[in-house]
Each structure stands twice: as C-alpha cells, then as structure tokens.
C-alpha cells in the first residue's frame, strides 16, 4: 500500500531489536507508577492505548534509582523486588508485545533539588544550589529555600557515586529479567548525568570534575556497569539535553563535544556503551529552560531539530531519537527522510492529544488527528485542550465514541469550537445533526489562527475539526443562518446544544465608546481602523497575543495591565511553564520593542491615548497612542442561550455562552454535552 510517509512508517533494526515504525511514545507524568512500582490496571490502560494506537515503543514514567528524585526517596526497582511489582511489569511487557510494541522502562536519578520558584516575569530563577560543587570552603552548600530548614548538604562522596552506578545497573538487570526490551536512561533536564557533565553545576576537584574526561566519567562508568550486568540484548537509550536554553547552561557545542568523546571512547575500547541517543533540551531550573524542555506555540516545532543536524554533521554515528513539539506527520516524515533523526518521540502529541496518531498516519486518516496545540495545559493535570477524555492518572480513550441507544434529531446552535466538537461527537454517536452558524464560516474565534503564523498548530486543529464535521453524511451545516427558537421548534428537534459564544467586556470608563477604541477581535476583522501606535488595554494572555500580532505588523505597541504581572492567572504547574517569559523574549525582538506597563488602572480613554493611575503609588500617568484595543475579558450569554430552553426535551449549553474560558473547556463542554444526549 502506497503511503505519503514511507520513511516514518518504515521498520528499523537497532541491535537485536526491531522497531515497527519510527514513532515512539514519550514518557509523561500523567500515569505515575503506584507505591512499590506496580503498574496497576489504570496505568496499564494508559500504556496499552498507546500500543493500540500504533506506537513502535512505549515507555513507562520514570523510576528513580537510589531515591534519586531528591530527599524523600522514590520507587525502588532494585532487588529484591516485590512479587506484585514483578507480575505487573511482566504483564506490561506482555500487553505491549501483543500489539507488536516494544516495552521500555525509564530510569533516572534527579540529583538533588535545583529548582526554586520560577517567577513568570523573570527569565531566570532565583539562585539555585550546585549539588556537585564546592562553593563553600568546607565543601558544603546551603539547602535551597524550598527545604526551609537551613540544613547543609555535602557533595556526593565517591562511595555514594559508586553506589548510584550500582543501583542503575541493578535496576536495569531487574528490568531485563522481567522481559523489557530496553531502558530509557534519563540524564537530561538537569538530572544527575547532566549535572555531572555541566560546568555550571559540577565544581568537583576529584576525578569526577574538571576536565571533559573527568566529567564524562560518571556516565561512562554507569553505562559500562549496565552493559556488564545486562549484555547487549537490553537496548540502552541515553537521554540528555542538547542545549539547556539559557546563558550559563549546557550548550549544544558542549553536548557535541561530550557525545564525540563517548564515541571516541567506544572506538578506542571497542565497546558499545549504549544503542540510541535521545536528544532532549532545556532543564527545570529557569523559565527559559522549562520552555526549551517543552516548547510553547511561540517556539518553532521540532525545537531541537537544528541541534540534531549539528550532532549529525559532527560525525555522530548512533541512531538519534528527536523529541520536542513534533505534532504533524509531515514534519515527522521530513525529519526522518532528511536524516536528521532515525526516530521521532512524541509525548504531548502521541500520549495526550492523540494516542492513535501512528495508526491514523498509517491508515491515511489525517483529518482525524487531534493536533496538539502546545498550550501546556496538560501540565496542570487537567483536560487536554483537544482531547477531552484525557484525565489525570485515569487516562481512558476508546477508539470510537460509543453509539447512542436511541438515534435523535439534534440541533447545534453556533459553529465555534464548542459547537463543532458537539456536532462531531453527536454525529459519531449516530444522531442526525444540523449545525447552524449565523456567519459564513466555521471555527468561531479560532478563525484568527489563520492570521498569526505562530498559531499554526491551532489552525491545523481547527481545520481538522471542520473537515471531520462537514464530511459526515449525518451532519447538515447551515451557514449564514441565525437559528431562532421559533425555527428550531418548527423543525422538531429532540435535542439542542447552544454554543453561541460570549461577548467582549467594555469597561465602564470615560471614552470607552470613542471611535479610536476597538475590541480585541476587531483587530483581525478591521485592520484598517488601527493606527501606527496601539495601547492594548488588559494584561491577560489574549492581550499579549494580539500585541505580538500587531508588533509583527509594524505597530508600536504598549500593553497596559491593571495587575502587577502579566497574565497572572496563567498558572501552569506552579508557573514553570508560564507562557509570559517566552512572549516577553519575543516582544524584545521588535523595533520598537513591545512596551509593558503593569499595575496601572486606566481611568480615561482619550483621543491621544489613556490616562491611568499606578495602583501602588497613586501616580497619574499618560500614555499616547492612536488606537486603544480593549482586551479586558468576556462575559457569558446565558440569558440569550436560555431563550432556547423550550425548543426540545434536551437543551444544553457549551462554550463561552455558558462561561468564557479556554479552548480546552470549550472542547470538553461540547463533547460532554453531546455525550449526554
């Protein structure tokens, strides 16, 4: 069978192991092994759905060795192993193999805590400890503030280092005994292996510090110990950060030097230390490092691809696994076809957004792919924006939406993302669906993704959703048609889902209705009304995104927010994936750069700009601009939506008309409303 993606779908032999394709499922913390290391039923379902979806290999979430996630310990894979743990791992392996998927286990040692709180308005964190260095004369360092008790911690002794190496080897030997095909040794993201090779962290003066040979010693001894215990049958996949993404962190040049040193060591000693190199990026000590680890929509897809090219150009010979923001078959195919990598590893895309990504690629069902939009909301352990069935530690997704017991006649009012998801789900269940949209297009507010290049992930998601809805035989789409209660009643619908969207808020301040004032969405619909200089009134994420759009168009932009920080509600995983640091970096690239004024309460809009009062000092300020754009939020339209309450036996609301929130809430609301019919 011909395919558009011959390289992506081709098998690949590595050592004694055959990968059925080049798409690997990455480990994520959504399914943490239970106490004792057992993979219990819901964990196994989590992994099996990835195997069913066609991934060539699945990897468990990480098992820390030696209690190596820092003080407090962790799960233990060393011998003697609990019999229940052994049975669960063996069942995991059997389950993967039933689907011709390779079963991997991830092992790591996190070193010691190196991350302090990451301020979303700062690119770097507060100073963090260097657990391997002698920063104080006695060889001890203060514990980071997060420990809170003033204790000191000595650097690792050589005895402790040798014990950690032995623990890694013991864990891998146990995994091999249980039948796993390979292990992922996670040393990146500022974990222990990266700490040893980092000039930033490793200040040791013994044979494990200083020169490249010494800083590589820990990694080499670790790999040699594992090979000695496990032989060549167990695949070893070494994961490191190619570039940590901030000044002072590990650079790609240092990584290339490190990899080529390992390669020369192998050739000199006629050894095969490891089988695959897994190129990651970033770390968790700074905001910039976090963004490099799991890049947001503002960063290019396949963020690490340029680093992979450089590694290959240096003469690196091992198969390379590339990860980070690979979310389309076209991109993945190009990476493999060009020789930049032998494998693509997908975490957010394949594990969260769409576990059936590989199968859909193989079967040519491109528009059925739920494209990850890189919003980082999955790190909040909530619903995925594009896959409403993803839940924390209870991941369940069936291949098909369950059919309805009784087929009904369903009306969807509104063709935004909530309405589209409701229509898609209702149609998949077998209902006869009529979708009414008063405008001449579908997609609602997501139509603006057509304008901004950095929103191409959202654009792909939107377009796929529209395609899935409009090609269904049991869906009728009525554009340029405003649904009324009278119209729906006359048609005799059994169920109605109202998804008419919200409406922007106009603040109650003088001048808010002047002709130089416009709502945020009008920026896209009426660009002719925008002057050369613009004030974005509002400090939320929407205001920042539109500021970016206007700056790209050559406008002089000033963001004015009432709170003391931009987008304070965009808290994701304790702010370590806050989008603002990435956006502020982009703001500074423009000439003139986007200006930011926070902690300012606007009291009047004039023809010349705004007058404001600084919240903390009471100082009055004036900011000049040709145009003022209102981005101070939206309100629901429940009153309008409730006019449809008598149109059918079942009437539900979905999306912003009920409560204006994010894409993920709109998608989830549309899905669950349709499931309730």
Per-residue pLDDT reduced to its tens digit, 571-611: 665 556 677 877 888 899 999 999 999 999 999 999 999 99
Token digits for 400? Answer: 């098909």
Between 245 and 234, name the one with better pLDDT. Answer: 234
How large is the average pLDDT for residues 660-670? 92
Domain boundary assignment for the chain: 12-380, 409-502+636-675, 517-633
**Number of helices followed by number of strands (H, E) in the chain:** 19, 28
Q: What is the pLDDT of residue 655?
A: 96
Residue 349: pLDDT above 70? yes
Rounded to whole angstroms, how far apart are CA atoms 363 and 501?
35
Task: HSE, CB side, 13 Å, CA atoms: give it for residue 650.
Answer: 14
**φ, ψ at 553 (rounded to 5°):** -80, 5
Range of lowest pLDDT (11-20, 30-39, 93-102, 209-218) = 30-39
Please check the confidence at residue 116 and state whether its pLDDT lies above 50.
no
Query: Mean pLDDT for the chain?
Result: 88
- For residues 293 and 281, the answer to whether their CB atoms sit within 8 Å is yes
pLDDT tens, position by position, 193-203: 999 999 888 88
Contact present, 213 and 225 (Cβ < 8 Å): no
Q: What is the H or E stretch that residue 457 is in?
A: helix 456-470
Query: What is the average pLDDT across 539-548?
Result: 93
451 vs 255: CA distance, rounded Å:
38
- The two three-digit tokens of residue 382, written as one number: 């909530």
Lowest mean pLDDT among 158-162, 556-560, 617-621: 158-162
Helix (H) or strand (E) holding 240: strand 235-241
Comparing 49-53, 541-545, 574-578, which segment has the lowest mean pLDDT? 574-578
Average pLDDT over residues 164-179: 93
Q: What percent of the chain has pLDDT over 70?
A: 87
Residues in the chain, total: 677
Q: Which residue has the higher pLDDT, 390 or 157?
A: 157
Which carries the bigger pLDDT value, residue 546 or residue 79? 546
Q: How confident is the model at residue 336 (pLDDT cuts 50, 70, 90)?
A: very high
166: CB partners within 8 A, 6+ apart: 225
DSSP output for 91-113: HHHHHHHHTT-EEEEEEE---S-
Please say if the pLDDT value at position 379 is more than 60. Answer: yes
At 246 the pLDDT is: 83
Share of the chain above pLDDT 90, in %: 70
CA distance 483 to 504: 21
Kindly state the tokens that stand for 327. Answer: 């979310």
pLDDT grade for 342, boundaries at 50, 70 and 90: very high
- What mean pLDDT is predicted for residues 265-283? 96
Supply the pLDDT for residue 507. Answer: 95
> What pLDDT shows up at residue 130?
39
* Predicted local distance difference test score (pLDDT) of residue 295: 86
Q: Write the class of the CATH domain 517-633.
A: alpha beta
pLDDT band with cut points at 50, 70 and 90 for residue 78 = low
User: When comparing pLDDT for 18 and 138, which is higher?
Assistant: 18
Q: Quote the tokens at residue 593.
A: 């750069």
- DSSP H helices, 207-251, are 212-215, 217-230
Is 329 a residue whose pLDDT tops 90? Answer: yes
Per-residue model confidence (pLDDT) at position 71? 32
- Identify the band that residue 394 occupies on the pLDDT scale cut at 50, 70 and 90: very low
Domain 409-502+636-675 belongs to what topology? Rossmann fold (3.40.50)
Nearest-Å Rg of the Cα atoms of the chain is: 27
Q: Residue 389 has what pLDDT?
A: 77
Q: What is the pLDDT of residue 70?
A: 38
Q: Which of 39-43, 79-83, 432-436 is least confident?
A: 79-83
Determine the pLDDT at residue 569. Answer: 74
Closest CA to 448 of 533, 527, 368: 527
> With contact defined as beta carbons under 8 Å apart, do 65 and 107 qualify?
yes
pLDDT in tens, 629-639: 999 999 999 99
- Sequence-distant (6+) residues with CB within 8 A of 359 are 52, 53, 54
Q: Are 437 and 351 in contact (CB under 8 A)?
A: no
| CA–CA separation, 191 and 218 (whole Å) | 13
CA-nearest of 306, 280, 286 to 246 is: 286
pLDDT at 135 (0 to 100): 39
Least confident of 66-70, 243-247, 344-348, 523-527: 66-70
The most confident of 134-138, 145-149, 234-238, 371-375, by mean pLDDT: 234-238
Q: Tell me, which fold does domain 12-380 have in CATH?
A: TIM Barrel (3.20.20)
Query: Where are the alpha helices (H) located in 9-130, listed in sequence order?
Result: 41-52, 83-98
Query: Residue 79: its pLDDT value, please?
Result: 62
Asked if the model's pLDDT at residue 459 lies above 70, the reply is yes
The whole-number pLDDT of residue 76 equals: 60
Q: How far is CA 399 from the centre of its chain?
A: 23
**Where are the strands (E) in 276-394, listed by range?**
276-280, 320-323, 343-346
């Amino acid at each position: 069978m011909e395919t558009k993606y011959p390289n992506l779908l081709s098998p690949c032999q590595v050592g004694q192991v055959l990968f059925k394709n080049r798409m690997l499922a990455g480990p994520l913390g959504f399914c943490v092994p239970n106490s004792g290391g057992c993979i219990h039923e819901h964990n196994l379902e989590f992994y099996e759905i990835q195997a069913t979806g066609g991934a060539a290999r699945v990897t468990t979430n990480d098992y820390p060795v030696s209690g190596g996630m820092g003080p407090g310990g962790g799960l233990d894979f060393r011998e003697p192993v609990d019999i229940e743990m052994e049975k669960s791992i063996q069942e995991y392996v059997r389950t993967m193999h039933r689907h011709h998927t390779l079963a991997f286990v991830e092992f790591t040692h996190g070193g010691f805590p190196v991350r302090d709180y990451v301020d979303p308005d700062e690119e770097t964190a507060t100073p963090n400890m260097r657990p391997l260095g002698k920063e104080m004369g006695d060889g001890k360092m203060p514990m980071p503030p997060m420990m809170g008790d003033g204790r000191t911690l000595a650097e690792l002794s050589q005895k402790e280092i040798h014990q950690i190496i032995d623990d890694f080897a013991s864990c891998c030997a146990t995994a091999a005994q249980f039948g796993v095909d390979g292990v992922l040794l996670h040393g990146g993201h500022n974990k222990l292996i990266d700490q040893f090779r980092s000039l930033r962290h490793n200040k040791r003066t013994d044979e494990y510090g200083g020169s490249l040979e010494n800083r590589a010693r820990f990694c080499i001894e670790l790999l040699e110990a594992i090979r000695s215990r496990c032989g060549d049958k167990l695949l070893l996949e070494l994961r490191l950060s190619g570039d940590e993404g901030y000044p002072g962190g590990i650079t790609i040049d240092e990584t290339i030097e490190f990899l080529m040193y390992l390669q020369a060591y192998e050739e000199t000693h006629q050894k095969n230390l490891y089988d695959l190199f897994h190129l990651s990026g970033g770390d968790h000590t700074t905001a910039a490092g976090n963004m490099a680890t799991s890049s947001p929509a503002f960063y290019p897809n396949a963020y690490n691809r340029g680093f992979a090219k450089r590694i290959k150009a240096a003469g690196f010979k091992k198969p390379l696994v590339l990860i980070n923001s690979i979310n389309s078959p076209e991109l993945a195919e190009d990476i493999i076809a060009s020789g930049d990598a032998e494998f693509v590893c997908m975490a957010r895309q394949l594990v969260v957004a769409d576990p059936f990504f590989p199968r859909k690629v193989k079967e040519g069902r491109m528009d059925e792919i739920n494209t990850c939009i890189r919003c980082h909301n999955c790190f909040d352990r909530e619903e995925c924006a594009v896959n409403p069935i993803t839940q924390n530690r209870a991941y369940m997704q069936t291949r098909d939406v369950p059919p309805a017991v009784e087929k009904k006649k369903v009306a969807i009012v509104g063709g935004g993302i909530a309405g589209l998801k409701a229509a898609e789900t209702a149609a998949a269940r077998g209902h006869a669906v009529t979708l009414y949209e008063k405008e001449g297009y579908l997609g609602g507010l997501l139509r603006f993704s057509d304008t901004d290049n950095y929103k191409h992930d959202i654009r792909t998601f939107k377009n796929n959703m529209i395609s899935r809805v409009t090609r269904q035989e049991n869906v009728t789409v009525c554009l340029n048609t405003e649904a009324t209660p009278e119209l729906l009643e006359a048609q005799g619908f059994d169920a109605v889902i109202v998804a008419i969207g919200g409406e922007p808020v106009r603040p109650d301040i003088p001048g808010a209705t002047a002709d130089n004032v416009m709502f945020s969405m009008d920026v896209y619909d009426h660009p002719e009304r925008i002057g050369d200089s613009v004030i974005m009134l509002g400090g939320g994420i929407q205001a920042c995104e539109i500021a970016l759009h206007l700056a790209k168009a050559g406008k002089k932009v000033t963001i004015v927010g009432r709170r003391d920080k931009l987008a304070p509600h965009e808290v994701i995983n304790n702010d370590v994936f806050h989008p603002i640091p990435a956006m502020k970096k982009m703001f500074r690239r423009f000439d003139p750069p986007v200006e930011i004024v926070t902690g300012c309460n606007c009291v009047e809009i004039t023809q010349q700009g705004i007058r404001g009062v600084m919240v903390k000092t009471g100082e009055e300020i004036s900011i000049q601009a040709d145009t003022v754009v209102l981005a101070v939020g939206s309100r629901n339209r429940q009153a309008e939506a409730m006019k449809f309450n008598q149109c059918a036996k079942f009437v539900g609301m979905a999306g912003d008309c009920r409560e204006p929130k994010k894409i993920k809430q709109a998608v989830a609301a549309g899905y669950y409303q349709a499931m309730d019919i």
